[in-house]
Structure 1
């Protein structure tokens, strides 16, 4: 596994973020993408040791395109210079939550988990209800020493506890959240050590698993909205 190819290609794309450069370097893209697919496949197997629910997916079905949707963005650069994959029991859908891999040079690669999307109001309500009803379990997960060493719970949040929830609840701060996710950043030198990265990523995801499991129990009855 030659992970250096990925980092070099992405660094070049970031410096030359144009359709002309991208179209003129298709061979470099194909080589870098093949390495990313191999990395994703090995990561699926490694995560599967602690979470067998993610096994059985093809890496190509879990990855995202580099092309950006610029319609509603001030940044009109056409490409997102990072390789991304979402590994969960149902592939790359945001629910059930799983393990999100982002490869971006400059120390910006990370492994994430939890619910990143906050546009699903039903999902947000389900998680709030579950935290409200199982606050002690939530506290035990996020206060675990291994968890605290790696993660801080992030997410978009309201200024106040929403109506219908106890403002004095021990987990009141987390009831304000609209999304709940984790990020563990990975240095470029760790990415360059492909096999070492896979081992380290597996360990990170194993620590992340109880957090994901908690959210997935909350979201057990969630149905993804159907596209019109």
Structure 2
């Protein structure tokens, strides 16, 4: 489970996002990170039951993303992320493709997500082709009442302003073909993220994302 102390550390970091404060509180950070790693280990086991493509033997340390921000080309020069990110890849330790992601951030900013964010060009072309051929299969997933209740309108994600090359504006599935990403995400309250059964609950929610990831993986196969 995620400890309340880990959320408190992130709250304090958000209010004191500078190297001096972080150095003085390095012990708190290491304790919070260790807590997140332990939680990730538990989550990997639960998620393997949902999606066998997730290797439950993955090193959880490799799933927890760095807290240090790359500020070289950014206007925002704050040095640290104010959340813990956990990536659960379905290609061994390789990131990218159809996977799952958990963000732990206090004040109601935690969320679970799955799918494929901003696919590379070759993958995007393959996904669009799969949608063009088998849109019915995708719509059965994303239009299911339980999916909509948890993740909202899948089509409301960022779309191209123009029609993608090779397709017609009259295509009945143009709203899906114009998508730039294929993501389902759901916010998690602070109260729920610190529950003892949080990993199991998150895995249960990911059962609804699993068919989406299968669809996307099949498109790129």
Q: TM-score, normalised by structure 2?
A: 0.93
Structure 1 regions of 5+ residues with no counterpart? 221-228
Q: Is the 8 A contact 1:110 1:186 kept in 2?
A: yes
Matched residues in 2 for 1:75 and 1:2: separation?
28
Per-residue CA deviations over 1:160-197 (Å, capped at 9, x if unaligned) read 2212013222221111112111111000000121x221
Q: Is the 8 A contact 2:2 2:193 kept in 1?
A: no
What SS does the corresponding residue of 2:50 show, helix, strand or coil? Answer: coil
Match of 1:182 among 175, 184, 188: 184
Structure 2 regions of 5+ residues with no counterpart? none
What SS does the corresponding residue of 2:66 show, helix, strand or coil? Answer: coil
Matched residues in 2 for 1:121 and 1:167: separation?
20
**Equivalence for 2:24:** 24
CA RMSD of aligned residues (A): 1.5
Matched residues in 2 for 1:176 and 1:148: separation?
20
**Equivalence for 1:203:** 204
Aligned length: 218
Matched residues in 1 for 2:3 and 2:35: separation?
6
Q: Where do 1:1-228 residues align within 5 Å?
A: 1-54=1-54, 55-91=56-92, 93-118=94-119, 120-152=120-152, 153=154, 155-193=157-195, 195-220=196-221
Q: Compared with structure 1, are the counterparts of its residues 160 and 201 closer, same or farther at alpha carbon in structure 2 (3 Å cutoff)?
A: same
Q: CA deviation at 1:159?
A: 1.1
Q: Compared with structure 1, are the counterparts of its residues 2 and 99 closer, same or farther at alpha carbon in structure 2 (3 Å cutoff)?
A: closer
